[in-house]
Amino acid sequence: MTEKEILSSTRRIHDLLSVKRLKEAMTDLRPMLVTAGVNAWIEGLEQIDTTYQVMLEYTVKGIQDPERQKVYRKIVADLYELNDRVSEFLLTKLSTQYVHVRKRIFRDDPGLESYILSFLSEPDRIAPSDPEYLRDLSRLFHMIWLTDEFHDREVELVETVKDSVTLTVPEKAMLVTALNFSILRYFDKRKFELLFEFFDSSEEEIRQRALIGLLLAFYRYDARLVYYPAIRGRFLVMDEYQNFKKLVQEVIMQMIRGRNTDQLSRRMQEEILPEMIKLSPQIRNKLDLDLLMGESLSDEENPEWQEIFDDAPGLKDKMQELSEMQMEGDDVFIGTFQMLKGFPFFRHLINWFFPFTPNHPEILALQESGDLAWMKGFLDSVDKSFYLCNSDKYSICFGIRSMPTDMQKFLSDGLHAEAEQMKEMLDGDEILDPLQQSRRVIRQYIQDLYRFYRFYPDKQGFDDLFSWKLDFYRKSFYRELFQGDIDALYSIAGFYLQKKNYRDAAEAYGILEQSGDMSAEVLQKLGYAWQKTGNYQKALDYYLKADLLLSENLWNLKKIGLCYRYLKQPELALPYYRQAELQDPDDLKTEISIGHCLLDLQDYEGALKSYYKVEYLLPANNKVWRPIAWCSFVLGRFDQARKYYDKLIEREPTHHDLISLGHLEWCEGKRNEAIECYRKGLAAGKIDFDEFLTIFDQDRDQLIKQGLDPEEIPILLDRLRYLC
C-alpha cells in the first residue's frame, strides 16, 4: 500500500467506526493487517469479529445481557486502537512525513535503551552545567513525543520526571509539552492518565500545560472517548477542583484568540504600524523617549501626545483599542517578533517550549559574553514581563546583542518599568482574581504554541491545531461539563461577534437558541451574524422573530428594512424604514434608505424628496449627488441632471458617472460627446466592452423612455467599438 492509500483507509475506517458501522470497518481493516504481516493483530481482529457476531446473535434472539453495552464499547475501542496501531506501523516504515522520519531515527538510536535506564537510576545527572544537558533533554522529549503506546517502561519514566526533585519546573513543563504532542499524535489512554496526574501539580507552569493538553485531546477525540467512560468520568469530576470551569473557559477563549492572531497581525501591519512609522520623526522630536517607557507609564498623559494624534485621525483610538486587546489577551506582538525566530536557538524543537529561565544553558552563555551586572538586571526584567510569551522573551535576549547601546538601554528600561507597573497591578488583582497567575501561564503557553506552528522551520510536519475550528461548544464533553451553565457560551459567542468571526458567532448563538434562549438579544445577534455572512434571508427571519418581542425597536426596524432591500423586496422594506423615520426623523441614514427603496420602486419624485433632504441637511455628502442626478435624468429634468453630473465629474467620477453622463449627452442629441463619455467610462473603470454592455442594457429602457431611437443604439455602440 502507498502512503496515500494507508491514510485514506485509516480515515475511512475511523469514519465507519464513528457511525457504528463495525462490520464494514472490520472488512476494510483486514487488508491493512495483512499488509503489515503481524499475525497477532490478524488474530486479534478475528477474535473481535467472533465476539461481535456472538453479541449480535444473542441480541437478535432477545437474550438479555447486562454487560452488552460494556462489551460493545470495548469492541469499538479495540477496533479504533487496532486501526491506529496498523496505520502507524505502516506509515513509520514508508512515510516521508516529518514525524515518521524522526520516528525512524529515534527507533534506530542504539543508545536509547541504556539512556532511559540510566535516567531512571541517576536522574540527578541532568543539570544545566552538563555539556550534554540539552541533548539529553531533547532525547527524552522525543521519546515521550514519538512513543505510540505507553507501556510500563514509558509510564515509569514519565512518572519519574513528574516526581523528580532534581528536574526544575521549566524542564518538567517542557516535557509536559512532549506528552501533549504525543497524545495529539497518537491516542493512548495511559497518556490521558499521566496528564491528569500532571494537572495535580502545585506548579502553575506544569498544571496549566497539562490542562491545555487534556482539553485539546478531548476536543480531538471527543466522539471516540464515549468508549472510554473512565477517562470521560475522570475529566468531569475535575469540576470539583476550585475554579476548574473558569480555567477551562480561559483556555478555550485563549485558543480562539489564537485563531484570530493572523487577522490581528494583518491589521497591525496594514493600519497601525504604517501610521506609527509615518509619525516616528514627530514622536522622536516631541517626546522624550527615555521617559516614554518610564515616567510616562504613570497615570498622567503627556500633553503633547494629543498634538501627535491630531496629525493622524483615528490613530489614538486604534492605539487605545490595541492596549485593550493586549490587556484582554490578544497576541499583539506576533508581527514584531516574527523576524526574531531565525536565531540558531530556535532550530532546536525543545527550545520553543522551554518556559523562560535565566538558567537555560544558552542564556547562561549569553551572560558570560557581556556586562554581567547589566545582563542580569535585563534578564530579570525579561523574566518578569507579563505580556511577553516565553518564546518572545528568548527572542529579545538574543536580539538585544545586535542593538546599539542606547537602544539596549531604552528596551531594558522599558521592560523594567513594565515589570514594576505590572507587579503593582497584579498584587492588587490577585485579591480580586486568584486565577491571575493561571491566566498568565495559559496565555503565554498558547502564544508559544502559536509561534511554533507558524515559525518553526519544520512546521509543515505538524498538524497545526490553530487551523482546527476549535468549536469546543459543539463537543459532548464540553456540554456535559457546562450543563446548565450557558454563561461560558455567551462569552464565546460574544467574542466571535466582537472579532467579526460572524459565521462562528452565528453557530454559537444558534446553540444558545437551541438550548431555549429565545431572548430578543440572542435573536438580534443571530440576525446580525447571519447578515454579515451575506445570508440575508436567515438574518431577516431572526430580525422578524425579534420584532415580535420588540415591535418598535429602532435598530431592529432598520435591520429588517435592510434585509428586505438586499432581498430585492423594496415594497416590504419601505414600511419598516417609515416606522424608523417616525421614531428618529433626523436620522439621515434612514432617509437615504427610504430614497433607495423609492428609487427601486421607480417612485423617482418620492426618491428625490428624500435625497434632497439629505443634501440639505448634510451638504458635505457628495455621494447623494449620484442618485439625485439619476432621478432627475429619468424624470426628464436634463438641466438638473447635468448640474449634478458636472459636480461629480469635477471630483473623482466613477465609470458609472461617466456612462450616465454619456446617456444624458445622447438624449440631448450630442452623440459625439456621448461616445467620448462612454470611452472615458471604459477607461476609468478598467472594464471591458462586455461589462460596459451589461451596464448599458440595464439602462436601455430608460434611454428609450427619454426619446432615444432604438434603431440608433446598435449603430452608436458599433461606433464605440471602433474607437475602443
HSE-up of residue 605 (Cα within 13 Å, Cβ side): 0
Average pLDDT of span 272-301: 43
pLDDT the model gives residue 111 = 60
Q: Parse the chain into domains and list their residue ranges.
A: 3-95, 261-466, 649-724
Q: What is the DSSP string of 110-139?
A: TTHHHHHHHHHH-GGG--TTSTTHHHHHHH
pLDDT the model gives residue 273 = 54
pLDDT the model gives residue 367 = 77
- Whether the per-residue pLDDT at 120 is higher than 80: the answer is no
Q: Is the dihedral of CA 442, 448, 452, 453 positive or negative?
A: positive
Q: Where are the alpha helices (DSSP H) in 515-670?
A: 520-533, 536-549, 554-566, 570-583, 588-600, 604-617, 625-634, 638-650, 655-667
What are 504-543's pLDDT values in tens digits?
999 999 999 998 899 999 999 999 999 999 999 999 999 9
What are 244-253's pLDDT values in tens digits?
999 999 999 9
DSSP three-state, residue 377: helix
Task: Output DSSP code: residue 345.
Answer: G
Closest CA to 104 of 86, 90, 83, 114: 90
Burial class for 54, CB neighbours closer than 10 Å (0-12, 13-18, 19+): exposed
- Whether the per-residue pLDDT at 20 is higher than 60: the answer is yes
Average pLDDT of span 100-104: 92
Using only C-alpha atoms, the chain has a radius of gyration, in whole angstroms, of: 34
CA–CA gap between residue 444 and residue 430 (Å, rounded): 18
- Whether the per-residue pLDDT at 422 is higher than 80: the answer is no
HSE-up of residue 476 (Cα within 13 Å, Cβ side): 10
pLDDT the model gives residue 383 = 86
pLDDT the model gives residue 539 = 97
**Residue reference for cell 458501522:** 21
Average pLDDT of span 589-601: 95
CA–CA gap between residue 374 and residue 379 (Å, rounded): 9
How many residues does this entry show for the chain? 724
Please check whether residue 187 is in contact with residue 221, taking contact to mean a CB–CB distance below 8 angstroms. Answer: yes
What percent of the chain has a predicted confidence (pLDDT) above 70? 82
Average pLDDT of span 168-189: 96
pLDDT the model gives residue 334 = 79
- The region of weakest confidence among 73-77, 129-133, 403-407, 606-610 is 403-407
